[in-house]
Amino acid sequence: MVWIYVLLSVLIVSLISLVGAFTLGIKHERLRTALIYLISFSAGALFGDVFIHLLPELVEESFTLQTSLTILAGIVIFFILEKFIHWQHCHMPVSEKHVHPFAYTNLVGDGLHNFIDGAIIAGSYLISIPAGIATTIAVALHEIPQEIGDFGVLLHAGFSKRKALLMNFASALFAILGAVITLWLGSSVEGLISYLIPLAIGGFLYIAGSDLIPELHKHSHHIRATLLQLLAFIIGIGVMAALILLE
């Protein structure tokens, strides 16, 4: 019975990645104008997720030198990953055929985060059914702003709308993998999560700080655009802060 609850829960959470489908009817020029604000929102949401949710969770359990080193390892790993991807796309113009490298690092980071979400949901169901349902609701509401931001990042990087939806959904399916591994390993999964969360933190800090923020600076030629970017950034943080009320 627990397996059924867990798999249904993570499937529902994974389907949230298709929220970008609501943009399919929007004209390309209007969507392109809005993309930079989705990037701002995503950057704020990533920073908010790190400093409001993930880091406090680590501190509450135990924050050691090993934790710090694992976060740094996450930054280094994503730096190397982006360098490798960049070498494969060297001197290619950004288009639907030649996508900006940071799109792939974002997908990897999102996949890791979704894996952790699946593991957390499954772990909650192992405690009790009510705990699992409550965690699923919290994760689902947490995913909506993140997936909107991720979809915007992929579009800005050069993906078509349909390909961005497909890739975002593929990344979301890692939640199912995380849930299955958690149910299989049982209580021993806590050791795995203690490494995955710091790695996700390092990845999110790298993506938001070295990829998304510089993109925003490229589109800050007017005070109005800058203020709207700042507003979207703060809203991204605010949404993540508001999710504390669900915990």
pLDDT digits (tens, 9 = 90+) for 191-225: 666 777 788 788 888 888 887 888 788 876 788 88
Q: Residues 6 or more apart from 14 whose CB is under 8 A from it? A: 114, 169, 172, 173, 175, 176
> What is the pTM for the complete model shown?
0.68
**Residues of the chain with pLDDT > 90: what percent?**
8
Of the ranges 24-28, 40-44, 217-221, the best mean pLDDT one? 40-44
Q: Residue 212 has what pLDDT?
A: 81
Q: Residue 101 has what pLDDT?
A: 65
Q: Residue 69 has what pLDDT?
A: 94
Quick check: 97 pLDDT over 60?
Answer: no
What are the sequence ranges of the domains in the chain? Answer: 2-15+27-246
Quick check: 5 pLDDT over 80?
Answer: yes
Q: Residue 18 has what pLDDT?
A: 78
| Residues 200 and 116: beta-carbon distance below 8 Å | yes
Q: Residue 68 has what pLDDT?
A: 94
Structure tokens at 125: 């169901």
Quick check: 96 pLDDT over 50?
Answer: no
pLDDT tens string 129-183: 876 776 677 677 667 666 777 777 787 777 877 888 888 888 888 989 988 888 8
Q: Residue 72 has what pLDDT?
A: 95
Quick check: 92 pLDDT over 50?
Answer: no
Q: How confident is the model at residue 95 (pLDDT cuts 50, 70, 90)?
A: very low
Q: DSSP class of residue 27?
A: -
Structure tokens at 11: 């499937």
How many CB atoms lie under 10 A from the CB of residue 143?
Answer: 24
Q: DSSP class of residue 92?
A: P
pLDDT tens string 56-70: 878 887 888 999 999
